[in-house]
Amino acid sequence: MNAQRANFLIGLALVGGAASGCAGAFEAETDAASPIAPRIQALVDANREYPRWEDFPKAAADSPTPVEVAARVQGLTGAGSSLQSEAERIEWTLGDPATLASEIGARVDSQQISPVTAETQAEVEAFAEEVRRRAEAPPPIDRTPAPSSNRPR
């Protein structure tokens, strides 16, 4: 138990020592013997008052008032409520998927199809075969080196 207390006190002393090392960080002095000391002091003096309140951006003048924000929030809440009530009125059917598929198929079959899509199975297969034929890669290029001749140049 005493070792734990000793470790705590040592840690506390280390933290205190580290924090006290930062105590004079904002009062740095320039070495007067340095050749650039006047330039450094001039830069420090020029920027001593920075940032000023004038340098911060102005508040937006066209911000909505709290009443307008509250009205917008109320409008969004009302729209969300009406959407929720519309979704609740939908008759959700989570029945047999085979029945659903047959109902969808019946709906699709009852629609008139355009003449462009009224192609026969043979036309579709011929088109697919033509596309496959055109998609074949060309024969590989022969990359074997040409026989070298041992003739003098």
The confidence score (pLDDT) of residue 79 equals 96
What pLDDT is attached to residue 67?
96
pLDDT in tens, the chain (153 residues): 577 877 887 877 777 767 666 655 566 677 788 889 889 888 888 888 878 888 888 888 888 999 999 999 999 999 999 999 999 998 877 778 888 899 999 998 888 776 666 677 888 888 899 999 998 888 888 888 877 666 555
Provide, for the chain, the percentages of residues in helix, strand and coil under a 3-state DSSP scheme, each rounded to the nearest 5. Answer: 55, 0, 45
C-alpha 63/C-alpha 72 separation (Å) is 13
Measure the CA–CA gap between 55 and 60, rounded to whole angstroms.
15
Rg of the chain's alpha carbons, rounded to an integer?
A: 42
Amino acid residing at 17? G
Nearest-10 Cα torsion for 63, 64, 70, 73? -80
- Please give the pLDDT value at position 149: 61
Task: Measure the CA–CA gap between 77 and 85, rounded to whole angstroms.
Answer: 12
CB 116 within 8 A of CB 127: no
For every residue of 22-64, which 3-state class applies, written as one string? CCCCCCCCCCCCCCCHHHHHHHHHHCCCCCCHHHCCCCCCCCC
